[in-house]
Each structure stands twice: as C-alpha cells, then as structure tokens.
Amino acid sequence: MTNGATVEDLREWVRAFARRIESNKDLLTELDAAIGDADHGANMHRGLTAVVAALGDPGLDTPAAVVKKVGMTLVSTVGGASGPLYGTFFLRMGGALGDAQPVPPETLAAALRAGLDGVVARGKAEAGDKTMYDALAPALDALDEALAAGEPWPAAVRAAAAAAEAGRDATTPMTARKGRASYLGERSVGHQDPGAASTALLIASAVDALGADRERSTTTAGAAGDDSAP
Ligand code: ADP
Ligand code: MG
C-alpha cells in the first residue's frame, strides 16, 4: 500500500501473520518451553487458524470490522496470557481505525498504537519486562518516526519490522518481570521471549501484506483465494 490500507490489505496482513505463525509454531513453543509452559506456538496457531476461518464470516466489509473480528476470535480461542493480550491489541486497534477507506497511513499507525496502549492497560508491561511489549513498542516508535520524517509507508513499515526484530533480540538478556517467565526470575536470562518473537512475526507480516512499493492490485477472487490458506 502507498496511500492507505484497504479492507483486503488488512485481511492479507492477518493471513500473512497466520502463515508466519504456522511456519514458526515449533520455534515459538521451544522458546516458551525454556521460560514458560511450552504452549505459545500451539496457542497462537490455534488462534490464527480460527481467525483465518472467521475471515469468511459475512459482514466483514470494513477495516474496523475485520480487525475487531480478529480480536474477538483471539480472545475466545487463545488461552493463557497471550490470548487476551493479542485480542485486546486487535480490538483496540479496530476501535481506532475510523471509517476512512482506504485507511490512511497515519490512521493505521495511530490505530496500531491504540492496540499497544490496550496491551499495556491489560498487562501492565513496561519496557524491559521481557514481553511482547519489548518488540511492539520499538516497532511502533520506528513507524511513527519514519512517517514523521516523511518516509513513504513501505519504508516506514520496513523500519518497524527491523525495530521489532531488534526488540525481540534484546529480550534475551532481560530478566522477566511479567507473565509466567517472571516465576523463573534470573533463570529467565539468556532466553528470547516467545511473545516478543510472535510480535516480530506480526510486524514482519505487515511488510508482507502492506509493505509493497506500489498499490496492491491483487483484489481478484482468485488471488485472494490462493492466499487464504493459513
Ligand atoms: P502463557 O504464559 O499463559 O502460557 P503464552 O505462552 O501464550 O501464555 O504467552 C506468553 C507470552 O505472553 C510471553 O512470552 C509474553 O511476551 C507475553 N506476556 C505475558 N504476560 C504479559 C504481560 N503482562 N504483558 C505483556 N505481555 C505479556
Ligand atoms: Mg505459555
């Protein structure tokens, strides 16, 4: 996208996330086995499989409707800490998308930040607590900075993805202070946070779906159908 995200762009973002979760399911579970209870890959895979199925529900014809549906589906299908946190992220994001179609880049960035604010309101994580926050917050800071500097959306979303990966990697030396991993205290040091890893996949998926240098033209039913497998 260049000038804004269409409803199909946002659907494709979610499908791209589902594909990345599917291919990284075992990695996410291994990360969670080290400092949690070895279910993050399974939790996210179950949730995103349900989300892709729910994208076929009738009436999901606005960006806000699609993104809110994602949130509701994650809340009801993903257990643990990550279900309510990711669910809240998408619900709050959907609530901030407004009615403009396509969604302008600044509105999309503000909606993503509303999602982050929801994660914080729900989980009370701060920078350095070794959670998904540590990937998401730097990503959205990088996105805002790039847009404020006049960068085009594709460059801004690539900067966000790079910042998410750096934030994910920076969780490894941290001591967990939130969630299950916090029970380990200093024994959580030396392991990457699974939620930060899945969040980096979410932002990478935005590059997949929303980061092209030209407007998407694959709005035919055939192209959408080919992409819909999780
Ligand atoms: P559970 O810990 O209940 O098994 P998951 O394994 O699916 O849930 O998710 C664990 C991830 O959730 C952690 O790696 C961390 O990134 C994230 N998380 C846990 N608690 C919080 C919190 N309070 N705020 C933000 N993220 C959190
Ligand atoms: Mg877990």
Q: What is the pLDDT of residues 174-228, one digit of tens each?
A: 999 999 999 999 999 999 999 999 999 999 999 999 887 644 444 444 444 444 4
pLDDT over 70 at 60, yes or no: yes
Rounded to two decimals, the pTM is 0.92
What residue numbers bound the domain in which 88 lies? 7-209
Does residue 224 lie in a domain region? no
How confident is the model at residue 227, as a pLDDT?
46
Residues with CB under 5 A from ligand 2 (ion): 32, 36-37, 39-40
Determine the Cα–Cα distance for residues 55 and 119; give it in Å rounded to an integer: 23
Tokens of 178: 């939130």
Please choose from 40, 82, 124, 202 the residue to mutate so as to test ligand 1's pocket, defined by most ligand atoms within 8 A of CB. Answer: 82
How confident is the model at residue 131, as a pLDDT?
98
How confident is the model at residue 24, as a pLDDT?
98
Does residue 184 lie in a domain region? yes
Tokens of 82: 């990550």
Tell me how far the alpha carbon of residue 78 lies from the centroid of ligand 2, in angstroms.
11
Taken in order 131, 76, 230, 96, is the CA torsion positive or negative?
A: negative
Residue nearest to atom 3 of ligand 1 (CA): 80
Tokens of 41: 């890959």
Indicate the number of domains in the chain.
1
Tell me how far the alpha carbon of residue 49 lies from the centroid of ligand 1, in angstroms.
19
Does residue 139 lie in a domain region? yes
Does residue 230 lie in a domain region? no
How confident is the model at residue 2, as a pLDDT?
62
Q: Which residues approach ligand 1 with their CB closer than 6 A? A: 32, 36-37, 39-40, 43, 80-82, 85, 119, 123-125, 131-133, 178-180, 193-196
SS3 per-residue string spanning 100-152: CCCECHHHHHHHHHHHHHHHHHHHCCCCCCCCCHHHHHHHHHHHHHHHHCCCC
Query: At how many degrees (to 10) do helices 105-123 and 133-148 cross?
Result: 150
Does residue 214 lie in a domain region? no
Determine the Cα–Cα distance for residues 15 and 30; give it in Å rounded to an integer: 23
Q: What is the CATH number for 121? A: 1.25.40.340
Task: Give SS3 for 5.
Answer: strand
Tell me how far the alpha carbon of residue 120 lies from the centroid of ligand 2, in angstroms.
19
How confident is the model at residue 229, as a pLDDT?
44
Residue 148 burial class via C-beta count within 10 angstroms: exposed 0-12, middle 13-18, buried 19 and up? exposed
How confident is the model at residue 1, as a pLDDT?
67
pLDDT digit string, tens, across residues 66-78:
999 999 999 999 9
* Mean pLDDT, the chain, integer: 92
Q: What single letter denotes the amino acid at residue 91? A: L
Ligand 1 atom with least separation from CA of 44: 7
Residue nearest to atom 27 of ligand 1 (CA): 131
How confident is the model at residue 213, as a pLDDT?
62
Average pLDDT value for residue range 39-59: 97
Query: Which of 1-5, 84-88, 145-149 is the least confident region?
Result: 1-5
| Under 8 Å between Cβ of 64 and 94 | yes
Does residue 130 lie in a domain region? yes
Does residue 223 lie in a domain region? no
Task: Give SS3 for 161.
Answer: helix
Does residue 219 lie in a domain region? no
pLDDT digit string, tens, across residues 23-32:
999 999 999 9
* Cα 226 to chain centroid, rounded: 22
